[in-house]
Amino acid sequence: MDDRMGPAGTEDVDADAEATTAGPRRPLDQMRILRAAVEFIDVNGLSKLTMRRLGAHLGVEAMALYRYVPGREQLLDGVVEMVMDELYETTNAGGLSTSWQEYLQMQAHAVRTIAVKHPRIFPLVATRPPSAPWLRPPLRSLRWVESFLQGLHDYGFRPKVSVAVYRSFATFLLGSLLLESGTLEDLTITEKVNLAFIEDDDLSSYPMISAVTEELKDGGFEVEFEAALEDLIERVTVMRS
Amino acid sequence: MDDRMGPAGTEDVDADAEATTAGPRRPLDQMRILRAAVEFIDVNGLSKLTMRRLGAHLGVEAMALYRYVPGREQLLDGVVEMVMDELYETTNAGGLSTSWQEYLQMQAHAVRTIAVKHPRIFPLVATRPPSAPWLRPPLRSLRWVESFLQGLHDYGFRPKVSVAVYRSFATFLLGSLLLESGTLEDLTITEKVNLAFIEDDDLSSYPMISAVTEELKDGGFEVEFEAALEDLIERVTVMRS
DNA sequence: ACCTGAACACCGTTCAAGT
DNA sequence: ACCTGAACACCGTTCAAGT
């Protein structure tokens, strides 16, 4: 069958009269599994996601999942597609833009929203091999890219320029948001312990670092993101000419 | 003991009279394990690296590794440190720069060299949680950051500006090089098969994409990297004032 | 001092069997 | 039609035992 998984058909019509809490009586389906996987990773982290635990989470033995999902790797691909679809919807919900600058801003913020909402999934979006070699994570869904190119076209971008913008945009988002999502991942207790161990490292032997620890700790991802976005937009202005 | 692993003491003095091919008679040590792990991932990919296989690769049972390495996760941290040390050496070998622009170029190229040389390890460098939250992958070694800040200081950068440059630089390198390393990873046969499956997707239903497949496939990471680097340097020029 | 065997508690995955 | 039990070939990790 469809060996590539992913939320293609959004057949979301059956909200049976079954209580949510009672027993998971209605049969499994791919959508339900993918949604459960997304939630599971959001809560417990990727490393805790096993077929067996996901099955348990759905009230089923692991083996039952294989009717709907070819395997763990494809499950993860499906999770990524799931999150990308979320992006696509966010993106098309937020009313029309009146300039290409606004359009890029809106797209950038949409991607950032996803990264902040799913900090433990974003690394997957960023690093899984995309379905075609010319796709650039995190902007890796054909549907999204198509719509993006269309958008730029409508603002009068020539095709070659649009491709260049797509690339710069992806690079910018990947760098900024992977870093930010990294800081947002909830750390497990043991990881925290490890950090505490390391944090007051022999930092005394790094005088330049010691001199600026305060500003290093500052964070401020938000303003940095906006500033970098402004820069990107200016670069695009140059490309366009 | 030292619970954090990593190539701290480079005790590289014993090149015994033992033939390399004969039998691995001299006892294991952490350095040898880490080097073997780097090589193993370079050749076989991260997913193939198991304690048992790495042991076999070293002519030893997996359990023997635990004398020198706390566990698999810390092994991977050690691999990352190993590669970062490679960077540090590259960086200090390439003679002095005569301007901060040249200095940044040299550092950028050094990191890119690492990414291209170890495309299957670079994602680890890029995504493993760093040892302090304010460190930014891929520029994640204290030693490297110290030396970088010192370098900028010597060119007259104020501390706050240096920190801002460090951040922009890391973001830029992360985005650019993670994408490039992604395209360089040798794909396993099964992955290739999957790609082939997907590649001639129903691309017919994406007219904007179809119109530019040629330029999308173009690649050209090298020139893109250089261009983005130039842009970054210009941004730094502004920050400096 | 350094490594191994055996064991434990897990994995992903297949497939015949149950309902 | 949908799920499970049992099994297979692996994992990481611990620890008593071998040399």
Per-residue pLDDT tens digits for B179-192: 999 999 865 444 54
**Contact between the CB of A27 and strand D at under 7 Å:** yes
**Contact between A134 and B217 using a beta-carbon 8 Å cutoff:** yes
**Contact between the CB of A128 and strand C at under 7 Å:** no
Q: Looking at residue A145, what is its pLDDT?
A: 97
**Contact between the CB of A71 and strand D at under 7 Å:** no
Residue range A96-240 in CATH 1.10.357.10: yes
Q: Looking at residue B119, what is its pLDDT?
A: 98
Class in CATH terms, A15-70: mainly alpha
For residues B75-90, average pLDDT: 95
The predicted model scores a pTM of: 0.89
Nearest CA among B134, B95, B87 for reference residue B112: B87
Among A196-205, A218-227, B7-16, B209-218, the minimum mean pLDDT is found in B7-16
Distance from A107 to chain B by nearest Cα, in Å? 17
What does the DSSP assignment read for A26-49? SPP-HHHHHHHHHHHHHHH-GGG-
A138 preceded by cis ω (within 30°)? Answer: yes
> CA-CA distance, B32 to B12, in Å (whole number)?
10
Whether residue B52 is predicted with pLDDT greater than 80 in this model: the reply is yes
Say if B48 is an interface residue toward chain A (CB within 8 Å): no
**Contact between A163 and B215 using a beta-carbon 8 Å cutoff:** yes
For residues B157-178, average pLDDT: 98
By C1' distance from the Cα of B64, the closest nucleotide is C3
Identify the band that residue B17 occupies on the pLDDT scale cut at 50, 70 and 90: very low
**Contact between A178 and B178 using a beta-carbon 8 Å cutoff:** yes
Per-residue pLDDT tens digits for A77-127: 999 999 999 998 888 766 678 999 999 999 999 999 999 999 999 999 999
**Contact between the CB of B231 and strand D at under 7 Å:** no
Tally: H helices and E strands in chain A? 12, 0
Which residues, at least 6 apart from A61, have a Cβ–Cβ distance to it below 8 Å?
A52, A55
Say if A185 is an interface residue toward chain B (CB within 8 Å): yes
Size of interface A-B (CB pairs under 8 A): 153
For residues B177-205, average pLDDT: 70
Burial class (CB within 10 angstroms; exposed 0-12, middle 13-18, buried 19+) of A40? buried
* Alpha helices, H only, chain B: 30-44, 51-57, 62-65, 72-93, 100-117, 122-127, 142-154, 159-184, 189-199, 207-216, 221-240
- Largest Cα separation within chain B, whole Å, is 66
Burial class (CB within 10 angstroms; exposed 0-12, middle 13-18, buried 19+) of B173? buried
CA to C1' distance (Å), from B233 to C13: 52
**Contact between A149 and B212 using a beta-carbon 8 Å cutoff:** yes
Q: How large a percentage of chain B has pLDDT more than 70?
A: 82
Nearest CA among B146, B158, B173, B174 for reference residue B239: B158
Q: Looking at residue A97, what is its pLDDT?
A: 86
| Residue at the smallest CA–C1' distance to nucleotide C4 | B61
- Domains of chain B by residue range: 15-70, 96-240
